[in-house]
Amino acid sequence: MINATSAKDEGRSDSSRVAVVFIALIVLLTLAALFAPRFRQPTVEAKVAPSVRPIMPAVELWLSTADRRLKLMPQPDIEMSAQDSSPADVVIDVNAKYQTMTGFGAAMTDSSAWLLQNKLNALQRNALLHELYGPPPNLNLNMMRLTIGASDFSLKFYTLDDIPFGQTDPSLQHFNVAANLEDVIPTVREILSINPGLLIVASPWSAPAWMKTNENLIGGELLEQYESTYADYLVKYLDAYRGYGIPIFALTLQNEPRFTPITYPGMAMSAETRARIVAQYLGPKLAGRKPRTRILDWDHNWSHPEEPLSVLADPDASRYIDGVAWHCYEGSQHEQGRVHRAYPQKDTYITECSGGDWPLSMNGELLWFTRNLLVTGIRQWARGAIYWNLALDEDHGPHFGGCVACNGVIAIDSQTGSVSRNDEYYALAHFSRFVLPGAVRVSSTDTDADKGIANVAFRNAFDGSIVLVMVNINANARHVSVVEGRTRFEYTMPPESVATFVWNPDLVSAWIQRALGWLRGPLPPARLE
């Protein structure tokens, strides 16, 4: 006797097989129609064939407005036409290629992980994490930053080797990740089960107090006698997290090494010290390990490009350094480009930027984050962008010192567990849902200065689709024309809006890739060099 459940499962299986066969037939019939030889009846007289209008791809469009009337809302498709001799505002050249993109994300601070674990039940958390990290049409976030020890967004001060004052532990016998076992590690493991391609950048806010000049987590510097031990400390972190199934994509030596906070853990670290630690200790210790963990220098603001330039000028250190990490709080994004031009073989990442409820953001932060951080940051060679806190509560916390007005990508109400999505959520979504890992930035006319419309363009590696993100910072609507290859389209950007346009120049290839994608299921993580 067959029970109802097995019958239902068998029915589902039969339906799936029928769907697969149906899709496969569509693909085969499409290919046959396109490429099969056609029989032609011989004719005595030559006839003039009527002109046939070529089939043009349609442009899909998603739109957000600064007044929050529209939040990543799909709009009617835009018709393309054949390119003519008239000029265009934005010309896209897919043959002019720049950096390959790794992705977008936010930091899983102690505060974010604590909220997810303690203010949501398992079903709520699972649904939210799928929304944030699941494949499109979810947000598709695939990058994350972790703090090695406490930051200002922790519930207490700690490192991973804390011992009584006055004692030392040069052999790191007391190293442990116990402080992360209840919140951070289980949350990251759950996210990895949703998105196995997650790329994690880890940064320490302070060495253990016994390694420092002032024997305190706040302020001070690393004692030179413990530089090798500090490198061992970071390697132990990699091994401990790998033991929990959490690979670390990249390390930085110190968060914001030019700033010494007075209310939360921090540590000054000069360019000379960073270069010495990488060249003599951390670089050699990581060189032969597989999978490889990258080393990123700096991890601080755009305002001091001389810092990473100094470290990269040291050949013994530079050979181990994969790239430079940047924060957004001071200086110009164009300093990323300056360092890239000096060392074009080194990667560029934005590893921290936070919005908040401060006077400059009273009208919202959608435009600033999309235009200044993402569009301009990527045009200045960023391969990935990581926002600061993924989640905070209605009081911008919990936090222990530091920023009292910072926002998360999302807000979780500590009383009800309800989730709200901030402007940064939509700014990230305009990229992360459409620009897939492995996409290449391609050339597009820079229209920011003359039209007040910033833009950046990409070509996805998987199906060849083109993604164009545009930001109109003007208080009035602006008409723009876009040319790519032999096609063009026109669109009027609403006032203070963000638009993501997606199209595929090769319609046949697009349908075949889509059908094959349905057949094989989700793509594996992109292979990133």
How far is it, in rounded angstroms, from Cα 479 to Cα 492?
4
Based on the residue annotation, tell me whether 307 is a catalytic residue of this protein.
no
Based on the residue annotation, tell me whether 352 is a catalytic residue of this protein.
yes
- Residues 328/301, Cβ–Cβ less than 8 Å: yes
- Residues 510/492, Cβ–Cβ less than 8 Å: no
- Residues 478/451, Cβ–Cβ less than 8 Å: yes
Spacing of C-alpha 512 from chain mean position = 28
Burial of 341 (C-beta count, 10 Å sphere; 0-12/13-18/19+): exposed
Per the residue annotation, which of 60, 256, 424, 496 is the catalytic one? Answer: 256
Rounded to 5 degrees, what are φ and ψ at 241? -70, -35
Per the residue annotation, which of 352, 365, 424, 496 is the catalytic one? Answer: 352
Contacts of 489 (CB under 8 A, 6+ apart): 59, 78, 79, 80, 81, 481, 482
Of the candidates 250, 68, 200, 62, the one whose C-alpha atom is nearest the C-alpha of residue 139 is: 62
Place of tokens 């016994």: 210
- Residues 320/282, Cβ–Cβ less than 8 Å: yes
How far is it, in rounded angstroms, from Cα 35 to Cα 28?
10
- Token pair belonging to 202: 């880890």
- Residues 294/250, Cβ–Cβ less than 8 Å: yes
Place of tokens 């914001």: 256
So which residues are the catalytic ones?
Answer: 256, 352
